[in-house]
Amino acid sequence: MLNMKNIISAVVVVLCIVAGGIGGHFLKSGGGGASGPAAHAEDAADDGHGKSEESGHAKPEKAKSGHGDDSSDEISLSGVDYFKFSREFVVPIMRDNKVVSLVILNINLEVDSSLSRKLFSMEPKIRDNIMTTLVELSNDGRTLESVANLENYESIRSTVLMNLQKVAPAGIRNVLIVDMAKQDL
């Protein structure tokens, strides 16, 4: 009798595992049938409203945004992405061969969307370039000493951007310092 209970319990456990696996497979694959992307494409092709025809009497007008004049030299932000680094930049400030403070910078890059995907594979090279630039700036004795000074802030951004454009000449538009802190040791 005890043996029969063990066998039945084992069979129930195996059936539950198999049923869970089958249910998980159906949920993951969309449940089978015609509910995949092809079925949705058929629905989108015929939306039940008939064909749209133009009358041919006038040129279709370009939609206006309602925000000022429609100048052709307007900057489009549709081709812009922002690249966020995986961690902050920590720059030591040295005096007499001793670290006296640390400057922590959270930097993002404004880049063309065509370069966005490539930056993930280039992150170590770009981080090295930025870190080298920041160490050079820390050794000049003034730029990272006073991070609250607007002139120093702009100097950091422009120097980092200039050196980055040597590594990736086309596509990096701007360097954004999202967060900055200095800790004296």
pLDDT tens for each residue of 96-113: 888 888 999 999 999 888
Position 31: which residue type?
G
Find the Cα–Cα–Cα–Cα dihedral 144, 145, 146, 148, rounded to 10°: 50
Q: Which stretch of 2-6, 30-34, 81-85, 126-130 has the lowest confidence by average pLDDT?
A: 30-34
Tokens 């043996």 sit on residue: 3
Q: 80-184 has which CATH code? A: 3.30.479
Residue 67 has pLDDT above 60, yes or no: no
Residues 107 and 89: beta-carbon distance below 8 Å: yes
Contact indicator for 181, 128 with CB cutoff of 8 Å: no
Residue 158: pLDDT over 60: yes
pLDDT tens string 1-47: 667 777 887 788 777 787 777 877 667 666 555 444 444 444 444 44
Q: What are phi and psi of 16, to 5 degrees?
A: -65, -40
Structure tokens at 44: 């989108």
- CA 113 from chain center: how many Å? 10
Per-residue pLDDT band for 134 (boundaries 50, 70, 90) equals very high
Interatomic CA distance for residues 119 and 112, integer angstroms: 11
